[in-house]
Homo-oligomer: A and B are copies of this chain.
Amino acid sequence: MITQKIKGVLKMITTEDFNESTFAWPKGFYSDATHIGLKNQKLDFGWIYSKVPAKTAGVYTTNKFCAAPTAKTKEIVSKNHELQAIIANSAIANSCTGLQGENDVLTEQALVAKRLDISPELVGVASTGLIGAFLPMDKIEKGISELTLATNTDITKAILTTDTKAKIISVDFDIQGIPCKISGFAKGSGMIHPKMATMLAFVTTDIAIADNTLQPLLSELTDITFNQITVDGDTSTNDMVLTLANGLAGNAPIKENSPDYQLFKAALHFVLQKLAQKIAADGEGATKLVESNVLNAQSSSDAQKIAKAIVGSNLVKAAIFGADPNWGRIISTIGATSADFNPKTIDIKINEFPVVQQSLAVDFDEAQISNSLKKDIITLTVNLNDGDFAGQAWGCDLTYDYVKINATYSS
């Protein structure tokens, strides 16, 4: 929720200022996907195209083995701040593939550029799947020749790996009385699952935005959304979040700290957070979404660090799978972080039930809390009573199926 002072009146921007709608592409965006034989029968290759070059911001993996497509896309977006197309495949990550991998990316860019009659530097490339395998360039080339300028949503399925469902969201809102749309989609089922090469998220919007405005906004919002989810704690070589704004809604370009900017920020935050939650909820083997809320910390980074540690603890995750109100694991996890806090003033709630007050156990009805832990969404609230800052993170439970999926993947 964002508070914005407009002409002396405090206006609270809430989700009521924009509407979650059925997924559709913003003005001027086209998309199509196909099956080129990387996956068994399923859609595995697709693109997004914007009628005009779109202002583009990106956030990329920090893994030292950055995959070839991720590195190339980062390079061109950092230099030009715009893209007009994105080509994406699943099943093969084109990571740890050396010079051949880099050349395959250049070839892929050139083929898409030729087909769409645009510069190769306007083509972003994204891959997700097995590390160490090369792209079958004959199939890629054939695929590019088959894709059309449709407006279907097949690409939201084509990028999936072990995901059990597509993660999509559209929101509508007015800026300067002009209807605008943000539509995002993501894959990831394992915040991090390196072999499957993890998370991708693409957000498209038709708003017009001023120069040098989208990148800092995306970076800020990624830190409190995608960077606050975890499924298994690893970081892949192919992680990428791209946001494209093509300006075709026709509004005057929005500038930082204007009321329009605050509304757009709230809507984009909503889109990124929903996609992040959808990834966490569909974590490998997951049966539950776990949200941790840390309140009254000494700093935002302390609050976020603790929130993420809680949803990242195998012991907490296994306890939640087992509907076990085991607060000792939560408090131990808090204590093992590098965050600063007073260890004597902590209150903990599991869902709505207090289990710890002032760092000591309170009497609670174990059966009642265990029952509430059988819900699909679990909330863990930690009040540090030691400051004014809050943070959130999202994860999932640790289940037999997580072990099964990851023990039997390649055999």
Listed in ascending order, the chain A residues whose CB lies under 8 Å from chain B are 62-65, 93, 95-98, 130-133, 190, 193-195, 232-237, 313-315, 318-319, 321-329, 331-336, 341, 343, 356, 359-361, 366, 370, 398-400, 402-404, 406-411
Contact assessment for A237 and B96 in the assembled complex, using a CB-CB cutoff below 8 Å: no
User: Which of chain B's residues have a CB closer than 8 A to the CB of A336?
Assistant: 62-64, 234-235
Closest Cβ of chain B to A151, distance in Å, is: 35
Given A96-B331, A236-B332, A406-B315, A326:B360 Cβ within 8 A: no
Nearest-CB residue, chain B, relative to A408:
B322
Given A132-B327, A195-B328, A400-B400, A322:B237 Cβ within 8 A: no
Contact assessment for A360 and B402 in the assembled complex, using a CB-CB cutoff below 8 Å: no
Contact assessment for A409 and B326 in the assembled complex, using a CB-CB cutoff below 8 Å: yes
User: Which of chain B's residues have a CB closer than 8 A to the CB of A333?
Assistant: 194, 234
- How many copies make up the complex? 2
The residue from B131, B335, B360 contacting A235, defined by CB atoms under 8 A apart:
B335
Closest Cβ of chain B to A374, distance in Å, is: 11
Instruction: Give 10 nearest A-B pairs by CB, closest first.
Output: A322-B407, A131-B328, A194-B332, A318-B406, A65-B335, A235-B336, A64-B335, A63-B335, A132-B361, A232-B314
Distance A326 CA – B326 CA, assembled complex (angstroms)? 34
User: Which of chain B's residues have a CB closer than 8 A to the CB of A404?
Assistant: 400
Closest Cβ of chain B to A380, distance in Å, is: 15
Closest Cβ of chain B to A21, distance in Å, is: 37
Contact assessment for B409 and A319 in the assembled complex, using a CB-CB cutoff below 8 Å: yes
Contacts A234-B332, A322-B409 supplied; 14 other A-B pairs, CB < 8 Å? A64-B341, A65-B335, A96-B359, A193-B315, A194-B329, A194-B331, A194-B333, A237-B335, A314-B314, A318-B402, A319-B406, A324-B407, A325-B410, A399-B403
Q: Could you jot down 18 A-B contacts, CB within 8 Å?
A: A62-B336, A64-B341, A65-B359, A96-B328, A96-B359, A131-B328, A132-B356, A133-B361, A193-B315, A235-B332, A236-B332, A314-B314, A314-B402, A319-B406, A319-B407, A319-B409, A326-B409, A326-B410
User: Which of chain B's residues have a CB closer than 8 A to the CB of A63?
Assistant: 332, 335-336
Distance A93 CA – B133 CA, assembled complex (angstroms)? 49
The residue from B97, B235, B321 contacting A403, defined by CB atoms under 8 A apart:
B321
Distance A131 CA – B356 CA, assembled complex (angstroms)? 12
Contact assessment for B359 and A232 in the assembled complex, using a CB-CB cutoff below 8 Å: no
Distance A194 CA – B314 CA, assembled complex (angstroms)? 11
